[in-house]
Amino acid sequence: MRRKTDIHDRSSPDPQTAMPAGRAAQAAVAEVSTAVARECDAADHMVDLQLTTMPLAGGFPPRRPLEQLAATSLPGPPIRAITPVKPPWRWIELLHGSLEATAPRPRTDRHRSLAEASALQVAEAIEQHLGAVRIAARLDLAHEASSPAWQHAYVLVTATHLAGLLVTVED
């Protein structure tokens, strides 16, 4: 018989262990980003994945609204809209779609499988260091005329961390 796991409010994570986990996740995502960029060079696109992390103040569940968490997780362009992703693991499918959109037309099976593998590697890099994503949302960012071709952004909340993932594609 399966038991439902209760999530109890915990105090903030220990800053001594939370910061190295955040840096390790950022390094792992940067490594995946380098591999994705190498593969997309042939498509005449520059793809960059950036992860920002910070310990989740006050423990899980967060006490601040998702809008405030999103603004904290990705400093930079203003956020026009926030769309919660339910169930939270679907953010990986959305990331896969973001990476697949970098392919030239017509898209090949090779590019689809590369995009899927890259999305899974990013998710693994994040969850290996920060824990399972418990809350996720896709962000619609306001773009300036001089902004990149497009950006997709996500806010991810684990039991101990708040993370912002920004996917930037430039021609």
pLDDT tens, the chain, 171 aa long: 333 333 332 333 444 445 588 888 888 888 888 877 776 655 566 778 889 898 988 888 898 898 888 888 887 778 889 999 999 999 999 998 888 876 666 667 777 787 888 889 999 999 999 999 999 999 988 876 565 567 889 999 999 999 999 988 776
pTM for this predicted structure? 0.79
pLDDT given for residue 165 in this prediction: 92
Please give the distance of CA 57 from its chain centroid, rounded to a whole number: 19
Please give the distance of CA 162 from its chain centroid, rounded to a whole number: 10
Q: Which residues pair with 119 in a beta bridge?
A: none
Alpha carbon distances (Å) from 73 to 55, 67, 129, 142, 163: 10, 10, 17, 16, 6
Alpha carbon distances (Å) from 125 to 142, 158, 168: 28, 13, 18
| Structural domains of the chain, ranges and CATH numbers in brackets | 15-170 (3.40.1460)
